[in-house]
């Protein structure tokens, strides 16, 4: 790549976006360019300001935010100075946007053909109806969807999630924009569908020369898609450069740690999380915002924001120690992680079985969602239950926990005794022994209770402890999940997502369970926080010997946490075995497909 | 919030398993107070409450004393004139608020307590229980509330407790609906499931997990219902089913003196203005609260 390329499509200069009355900065001095036919990945964790920056390219700010400075130039048009009327022409014409959730962005009352036609008419595409009709057919081809009349007459709800997202992309492509902004278009999708959508984007940019800004929180997703990557942290770009340079020779500690936090199917070590959490707007420090979480910080970091420099004009980084980091300064200081114990054989002896699920059939309302499922969970082991959404994995986990609300046949045994279907039918000892951690820590903690009240509830119910004993146990468990006991007086809303999930884990642990059911416990968390939670669970399991059922849709997490894995598809377990055997030599076709579609940072992307 | 862990911890531990928290109320109230309408409403309401409570002590006469000829015009002796029996209107206005307040608030409290209980149970139990409760309440809702009150009052006589009860019952279906809708939303959240999973009894789940999370909409509903209570009680007094003569009551005063509305308007206007001001102030407060609630929602969505 040359230093000064003439084919620049988009220039963003020193973009600053603030919250309106308070003036709190969301984006602070973001600058980048995008060349023709290039895909730039804008990567950052939640609250890093990436979506705000992306929508600013269309001169759109969500309510309460406004642009305080900077310039966005698309092919000579200064977007931020345009009038409303002019913007209508630019949006969808020169630059277009693909939102995160296509199911929410398509009009449910209009047939997709009509919705797509509307865009063409609005921008007066072509001169005749026939010309627009031809373009409509062409668009469907471009996004690899069927173009027959029957398909175009469908309503959005008659399409799958992946098809909806591709319709949204087709809509964005309708008027052949110069640049297309994709805002986490695959986050709400399954891995298989995600792979299809990524394929579509790749096809569009390479075949039609459209540039793209791909906003995402997941580096692995964009690994094979983008040409360059910009890493955002706390409203600023910390590093921007060609993909290969970032994956193999990142110069910012945050980039390096982010890479280390990504779970990988092939890695045997658990991903390494970044301690703490990203600061929200308004809580950012004067210097480099990553300072408190950085293992190679120096005094200067906290007070002065480093300038943009870098090894190459095309690879910019803002860190005082970028040269040292680039030469291999260790960015993670601290003890080596305990790796999950590997096992060779699935345990099949009756006395080591803790939970035995036998021929369970379960319904959701009247629909059968689990078909004759059998599985066993062994003592001191972690069984990963993997499947896409709708595969019945959460239903199975809830059946074991006694939280399934609809009809269920079959038997679930715990230490040889059959469990009642609902928790109210179970003994107190059984309820105590099986603890469930929910997917979303935003929904599983009562917002009106302090952490103390949340944690003391199971203790009060299961144990006869006095006040000091309760307090002592709560403090001990909080320390176990790496939370400060001073948090006891706080409310969940005062904690970050990762901290909340730790509280939820602590609430399960105070009951001293022998079985821990983790239902997608990391899916709501940022990559760096997810890795830290996985670290914690691995650590807990090896220390306490609790048996664990780890439900996840992310196959990449499995090797770092589980000894055994069961793969679910459409309410059935299609493969069950020890982790290494299943991942290295999958027997079921479906497992192979999942493995193939799980995003990873493959060797060929590292160039 | 990390203050004196020792003291705070023992304090908190005593009330483990969670007495309902006032925090959200405080937040809603504080936010509501920032709005002008709430301030105006609250000041008006407080002023009227002061008149109702302590007005009698500054009243120049006693409420049943005949001080002059009927329907006298205002003068220095009787500032607002006299009523149809020649009693002092100012004195009766100062005395007549307490009944409106006392009856209005108790009727609202009764309606809220029953309505919230039914709504919580219906929203949590769902299915048959839900259908049962809500359809019965629909039947209550279908009766015009004033007619229903008149029916019972005409059978049992104009008893105060009966009026309070009837007004309360007329609020019940609407409050139950609001409660049920909010409950259904909260019950769907995982923390309710988490409490059930460790075996917390249903009653405690409703009181300590669900109720604190729906307090804001209920607060707004309470303010709105208070307005209706006042109007209804005044209306019942006006048509003769509420307070009975010779009691001083704003609603009753309007009825007794309505024949003089042309000749001596103050005798009717004074209680009318009081009732008007009271309902407007209660409404302003309720409106401010509901706006504050929406504001809180907006904040969390943005954070």
- pLDDT over 60 at A2, yes or no: no
- Whether chain B has a CB inside 8 Å of the CB on A66: the answer is no
Whether cis (ω within 30° of 0) applies to the bond prior to B246 is yes
**Mean pLDDT score, A460-484:** 89
Q: Considering CB atoms only, which of A403, A447, A487 is closest to B197?
A: A403
Angle A344-A345-A346 from CA coordinates, rounded to 5°: 135
Least confident of A85-89, A127-131, A342-346, B234-238: A342-346
**Token pair recorded at residue A123:** 């921008």
Reported as a pLDDT band with limits 50, 70 and 90, residue B12 is very low
**Mean pLDDT score, B154-180:** 90
- What local confidence, expressed as pLDDT, does residue B4 receive? 33
Which string of DSSP letters, residue by residue, matches A258-286?
HHHHS--TT-SSPPPPPSS-PPPTT---S
Query: Against a cut of 0.80, is the pTM above it?
Result: no
What's the gap in Å between the CA of A138 and the closest CA on chain B?
39
Reported as a pLDDT band with limits 50, 70 and 90, residue A567 is very high
Q: Considering CB atoms only, which of A64, A436, A460 is closest to B197?
A: A436
- Whether chain A has a CB inside 8 Å of the CB on B212: the answer is yes
Q: How far apart are CA B220 and CA B237, in angstroms?
A: 26
Per the CB < 8 Å rule, is B18 touching A453? Answer: yes
| Interfacial A residues in 504-533 facing B (CB < 8 Å) | 507, 511
- What local confidence, expressed as pLDDT, does residue A262 receive? 83
HSE-CB at A509 with a 13 A cutoff on CA atoms is: 24
**Mean pLDDT score, A418-437:** 88
| Interfacial A residues in 366-405 facing B (CB < 8 Å) | 401-403
Domain ranges of chain B: 54-95, 96-303
Reported as a pLDDT band with limits 50, 70 and 90, residue A505 is very high
Reported as a pLDDT band with limits 50, 70 and 90, residue A124 is confident
- pLDDT over 60 at B18, yes or no: no
Distance of CA A427 to the CA centre of its chain: 37
Rg (CA), chain A: 26
Let me know: does A567 contact A587? Beta carbons within 8 Å.
Answer: no
- pLDDT over 50 at A606, yes or no: no
- pLDDT over 90 at B176, yes or no: yes
**Mean pLDDT score, A497-524:** 89
Per the CB < 8 Å rule, is B12 touching A64? Answer: no
In degrees rounded to 5, what are phi and psi of residue B163? -60, -45
Distances (CA, A) of A501 to A236, A302, B191: 27, 28, 13
- pLDDT over 60 at B11, yes or no: no
- Whether chain B has a CB inside 8 Å of the CB on A452: the answer is yes
Distances (CA, A) of B98 to A72, B51, B56, B212: 66, 9, 9, 31
Residue of chain A nearest B2, judged by CA positions: A486
Q: Where are the alpha helices (DSSP H) in chain B?
A: 5-14, 23-33, 36-58, 89-95, 97-125, 127-142, 145-156, 160-187, 190-197, 202-204, 215-238, 250-257, 266-302
* Average pLDDT across chain B, whole number: 82
Q: Considering CB atoms only, which of B9, B197, B302 is closest to A471?
A: B9
Q: How far apart are CA A101 and CA B54, in angstroms?
A: 60
List, for residues A261-313, the tens digit of each pLDDT value: 888 777 666 788 888 777 777 777 778 888 888 888 888 888 888 888 888 88
For the stretch A473-482, contacts whose Cβ atoms lie closer than 8 Å and that sit 24 or more positions apart, written own/partner, are: A473/A510, A474/A506, A474/A510, A477/A506, A477/A509, A477/A510, A478/A451, A478/A506, A480/A506, A480/A509, A480/A540, A481/A505, A481/A506, A481/A509, A481/A536, A481/A540, A482/A536
Reported as a pLDDT band with limits 50, 70 and 90, residue A526 is confident
Which string of DSSP letters, residue by residue, matches A194-234?
HHHHHHHHHHHHHHH--EEEEEES-HHHHTTT-SEEEEEET
**Token pair recorded at residue A483:** 């939370």
Q: How far apart are CA A20 and CA A27, in angstroms?
A: 13
Residue of chain A nearest B193, judged by CA positions: A403
- What local confidence, expressed as pLDDT, does residue B191 receive? 92
Reported as a pLDDT band with limits 50, 70 and 90, residue B181 is very high
What's the gap in Å between the CA of B294 and the closest CA on chain A?
15
Which residues in chain B are closer than 8 Å to A487, comparing Cβ atoms? 2
**Mean pLDDT score, A255-260:** 87
Establish, for the pair of chains A and B, how many residue pairs have beta carbons separated by less than 8 Å. Answer: 110
* Average pLDDT across chain A, whole number: 85
Which residues in chain A are closer than 8 Å to B212, comparing Cβ atoms? 446, 448-449
Reported as a pLDDT band with limits 50, 70 and 90, residue A342 is low
Let me know: does A191 contact A146? Beta carbons within 8 Å.
Answer: no
What's the gap in Å between the CA of B191 and the closest CA on chain A?
4
Per the CB < 8 Å rule, is A444 touching B3? Answer: no
- Whether chain B has a CB inside 8 Å of the CB on A253: the answer is no
List, for residues B256-301, the tens digit of each pLDDT value: 888 888 888 888 999 999 989 998 998 888 888 877 776 543 443 3
Higher pLDDT: A98 or B6? It is A98
ipTM of the complex: 0.74
HSE-CB at A568 with a 13 A cutoff on CA atoms is: 30
Reported as a pLDDT band with limits 50, 70 and 90, residue A40 is very high
Reported as a pLDDT band with limits 50, 70 and 90, residue B16 is very low
- What local confidence, expressed as pLDDT, does residue B5 receive? 34
Per the CB < 8 Å rule, is A449 touching B302? Answer: no
Which residues in chain A are closer than 8 Å to B198, comparing Cβ atoms? 423, 431-432, 457-458, 461-462, 511
Per the CB < 8 Å rule, is B5 touching A485? Answer: yes
Per the CB < 8 Å rule, is B16 touching A460? Answer: yes
What single-letter DSSP state applies at residue B62? -
**Token pair recorded at residue A175:** 């008027």
- What local confidence, expressed as pLDDT, does residue A5 receive? 63
Q: Considering CB atoms only, which of B3, B191, B196 is closest to A446?
A: B191
Q: How far apart are CA A194 and CA A217, in angstroms?
A: 14
Reported as a pLDDT band with limits 50, 70 and 90, residue A221 is confident
Q: How far apart are CA B113 and CA B172, in angstroms?
A: 8
Domains parsed from chain A with CATH numbers: 252-337 (no CATH), 350-440+513-596 (3.40.50.300)
Is B96-303 a CATH 1.10.3720.10 domain? yes
**Mean pLDDT score, B203-224:** 87
- Whether chain B has a CB inside 8 Å of the CB on A552: the answer is no
- pLDDT over 70 at B9, yes or no: no
Higher pLDDT: B10 or B171? It is B171
Q: How far apart are CA B5 and CA A450, in angstroms?
A: 13
């Amino acid at each position: 790549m040359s230093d000064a390329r003439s084919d620049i499509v988009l220039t963003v200069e020193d973009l600053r976006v603030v919250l309106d009355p308070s003036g709190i900065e969301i984006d602070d001095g973001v600058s980048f360019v995008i060349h023709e036919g290039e895909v730039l990945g804008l990567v950052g964790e939640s609250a890093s300001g990436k979506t705000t920056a992306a929508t600013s390219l269309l001169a759109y700010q969500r309510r309460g935010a406004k642009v305080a400075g900077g310039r966005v130039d698309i092919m000579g048009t200064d977007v931020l100075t345009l009038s409303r009327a002019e913007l209508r022409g630019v949006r969808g014409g020169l630059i277009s946007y693909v939102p995160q959730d296509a199911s929410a962005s398509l009009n449910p009352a209009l047939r997709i053909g009509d919705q797509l036609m509307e865009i063409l008419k609005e921008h007066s595409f072509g001169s005749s109806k026939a010309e627009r009709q031809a373009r409509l057919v062409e668009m469907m081809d471009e996004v690899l969807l069927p173009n027959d009349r029957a398909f175009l007459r469908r309503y959005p709800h008659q399409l799958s999630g992946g098809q909806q997202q591709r319709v949204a992309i087709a809509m964005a492509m309708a008027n052949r924009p110069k640049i297309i902004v994709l805002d986490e278009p695959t986050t709400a999708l399954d891995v298989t569908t995600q792979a299809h959508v990524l394929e579509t984007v790749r096809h569009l940019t390479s075949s039609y020369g459209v540039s793209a800004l791909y906003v995402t929180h997941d580096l692995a997703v964009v690994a094979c898609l983008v040409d360059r990557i910009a890493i955002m942290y706390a409203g600023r770009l910390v590093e921007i450069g060609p993909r290969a340079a970032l994956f193999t020779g990142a110069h910012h500690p945050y980039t390096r740690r982010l890479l280390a936090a990504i779970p990988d199917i092939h890695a045997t070590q658990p991903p390494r999380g970044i301690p703490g959490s990203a600061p929200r707007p308004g809580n950012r420090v004067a210097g480099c915002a990553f300072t408190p979480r950085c293992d190679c910080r120096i005094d200067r970091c906290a007070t002065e924001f480093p300038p943009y420099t870098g090894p190459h004009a095309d690879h910019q980084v803002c860190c005082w120690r970028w040269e040292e980091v680039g030469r291999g300064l260790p960015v993670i200081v601290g003890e080596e992680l305990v790796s999950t114990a590997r096992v060779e054989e699935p345990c099949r002896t009756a006395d080591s079985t803790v939970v035995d699920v036998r021929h369970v059939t379960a319904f959701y309302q009247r629909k059968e969602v689990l078909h004759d499922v059998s599985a066993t969970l062994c003592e001191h082991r972690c069984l990963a239950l993997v499947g896409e959404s709708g595969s019945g994995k959460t239903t199975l986990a809830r059946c074991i926990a006694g939280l399934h609300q609809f009809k269920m046949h079959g038997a679930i045994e715990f230490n040889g005794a059959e469990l009642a279907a609902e928790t109210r039918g179970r003994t107190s000892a059984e309820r105590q022994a099986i603890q469930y951690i929910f997917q979303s820590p935003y929904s599983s903690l009562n917002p009106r209770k302090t952490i103390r009240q949340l944690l003391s509830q199971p203790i009060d119910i299961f144990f006869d402890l006095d006040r000091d004993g309760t307090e002592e146990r709560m403090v001990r468990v909080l320390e176990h999940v790496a939370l400060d006991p001073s948090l006891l007086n706080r409310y969940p809303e005062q904690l970050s997502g990762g901290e909340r999930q730790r509280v939820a884990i602590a609430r399960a642990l105070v009951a001293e369970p022998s079985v821990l059911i983790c239902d997608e416990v990391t899916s709501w968390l940022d990559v760096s926080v997810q890795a830290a939670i996985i670290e914690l669970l691995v650590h807990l399991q090896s220390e306490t010997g609790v048996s664990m059922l780890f439900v996840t849709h992310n196959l990449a997490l499995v090797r770092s946490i589980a000894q055994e894995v069961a793969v679910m598809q459409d309410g059935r377990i299609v493969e069950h075995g020890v982790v290494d055997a299943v991942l290295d030599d999958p027997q079921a076709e479906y497992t192979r497909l999942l493995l193939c579609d799980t995003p990873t940072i493959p060797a060929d992307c590292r160039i | 919030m990390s203050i004196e862990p020792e003291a705070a911890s023992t304090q908190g531990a005593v009330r483990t398993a969670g007495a309902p928290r006032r925090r959200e109320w405080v937040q809603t109230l504080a936010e509501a107070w920032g709005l002008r309408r709430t301030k105006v409403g609250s000041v008006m309401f407080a002023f009227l409450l002061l008149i109702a409570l302590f007005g009698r002590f500054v009243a120049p006469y006693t409420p049943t004393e005949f001080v002059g000829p009927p329907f006298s015009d205002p003068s220095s002796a009787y500032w607002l004139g006299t009523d149809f029996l020649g009693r002092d209107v100012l004195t009766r206005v100062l005395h007549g608020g307490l009944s409106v307040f006392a009856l209005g608030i108790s009727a609202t409290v009764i309606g809220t307590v029953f309505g919230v209980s039914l709504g919580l149970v219906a929203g949590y139990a769902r299915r048959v229980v839900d259908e049962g409760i809500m359809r019965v309440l629909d039947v209550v809702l279908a009766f015009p509330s004033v007619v229903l009150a008149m029916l019972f009052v005409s059978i049992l006589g104009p008893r105060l407790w009966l009026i309070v009860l009837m007004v309360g019952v007329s609020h019940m279906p609407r409050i139950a609906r609001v409660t049920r809708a909010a409950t259904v939303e909260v019950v769907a959240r995982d923390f309710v499931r988490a409490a059930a999973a460790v075996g917390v009894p249903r009653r405690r789940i409703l009181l300590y997990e669900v109720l604190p999370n729906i307090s804001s909409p209920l607060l707004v509903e309470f303010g709105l219902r208070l307005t209706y209570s006042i109007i209804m009680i005044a209306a019942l007094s006006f048509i003769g089913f509420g307070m009975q003569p010779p009691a001083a009551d704003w609603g009753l005063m309007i009825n007794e003196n309505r024949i003089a509305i042309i000749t001596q308007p103050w005798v009717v206007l004074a209680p009318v203005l009081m009732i008007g001001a009271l309902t407007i102030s209660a409404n302003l407060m309720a409106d401010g609260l509901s706006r504050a609630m929406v504001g809180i929602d907006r904040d969390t969505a943005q954070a």
